Structure 1
């Protein structure tokens, strides 16, 4: 299901916060105010592609914060499994300290509300949502299980949304900050191709 342009579903669930504390009732909407949010789902802890994505998000976390963007990750594992995974070094198959909140969706209710549940396995697909300050989903991408995300492209999408909101111009294919945008008109498109 396409959720782009729709209000992001809220949820309340157990989570391990970026400071390492575990809480039983993390309220998504109450914790994310007046900023962009990248909400992403991964299938399971202690797997193979998942840690590469989680660590990549963590490495780029300062870049997201510069853009007033919070990251929230969700899987069906318990908060205790999340914590055990963080307590294990990257060199030993863990993920190390993570600077963003990791949510536990044991019953799969959150992944169902975002319609990202694998049809046969019951775990989440590799889904990513960029949510704006008004709680509207502006970008959505879903990968099958074997294929990792391009985290830098998610950062690019935050830049594109911010640029459009500030200037009104639209962002063509492969647009990046500093590249030419298009005034949304026939003349603007002609000028772009000149």
Structure 2
């Protein structure tokens, strides 16, 4: 009887340990979901203001970007502070993205009507002017949660940026904290790097920019590249 009692206690202890391990692993996997690189970009349908000023009720990501590259960028709120500088910077480089075949899409938790009002506010008055790309209304917070960029306390989106390839897969992502504005030229650099790799099969070393040499992904390739370019790194 005594042996059976201790066996039951031991079995219960093992079961609890396994359950805790499963729970811990599940939480770990949940946290890992924040890395979207290599995965299909989460689809969404939401209201939006298009680049021509039209307000639509059903803007679908996958339909919009089918067969094209895209940059989706999240920002906290309309009519705030760092945000207009970023949206204006994206707009000033809109043609640079366009000639590379890249769709630019902005997302925040504001409504489509707030987006529209912000577009119709002069830059000198804290607005963004008539930016040439779509602004999506994530009023239910579903999109920022799908991309895992919702601030846990502020309830707005972090400054997340995602580069999506022609197959709809995320190839690059970066997330800035709320006070830190992003570098739009860096996103253009990543667009060029992805295009270079896709066309040439070579990989892009640190600081690669258009016109620079790539690297063959092999021991011989890295040895050759470093022997010729180590001083420029």
- The residue correspondences of 1:2-21 to structure 2 (distance < 5 A) are 2-21=35-54
Classify the secondary structure of the residue corresponding to 2:91: helix
Per the alignment, residue 191 of structure 1 pairs with 224
Identify the residue that residue 116 of structure 2 maps to in structure 1: 83
The aligned counterpart of 2:146 is 113
Name the SS for the 2:40 alignment partner. Answer: coil
SS at match of 1:85: helix
1:141-193 Cα distance to aligned partner (Å, 9 max, x none): 00000000000000000100110010010001110001111111111111111
SS of residue paired to 2:160: strand
- Structure 2 residue aligned with 1:25: 58
Greater per-residue helix proportion: 2
Query: Once superposed, what is the RMSD of the aligned Cα atoms?
Result: 0.6
User: Which of residues 182, 203, 206 is equivalent to 1:149?
Assistant: 182
SS of the equivalent of 1:95 reads coil
Q: Distance in 2 between matches of 1:25 and 1:9?
A: 16
Match of 2:23 in 1: none
Q: Secondary structure at the match of 1:25?
A: strand
The alpha carbon displacement at 1:119 in A equals 1.0
Number of residue pairs the alignment of both structures matches: 194
Aligned partner of 2:85 in structure 1 is 52
Report deviation, 1:33. Answer: 1.6
Tell me, in whole angstroms, the C-alpha distance in 1 between the residues paired with 2:195 and 2:67: 13
Q: Distance in 1 between matches of 2:65 and 2:211?
A: 28
In the superposition, the TM-score normalised over structure 2's length comes to 0.82
What whole-Å deviation, never above 9, does each CA across 1:119-151 have from its counterpart, x for those lacking one? 111110000000000000000000000000000
CA-CA distance at 1:31 after TM superposition = 1.2
**What TM-score does the superposition give when structure 1 sets the normalisation length?**
0.99
* Deviation of 1:74 (Å): 0.3
Find the counterpart in structure 2 of residue 74 from structure 1: 107
Q: Which runs of at least 4 in structure 1 moved beyond 4 Å after TM superposition? A: none
SS in 1 for 2:71: strand
Alignment partner, residue 62 of structure 1: 95
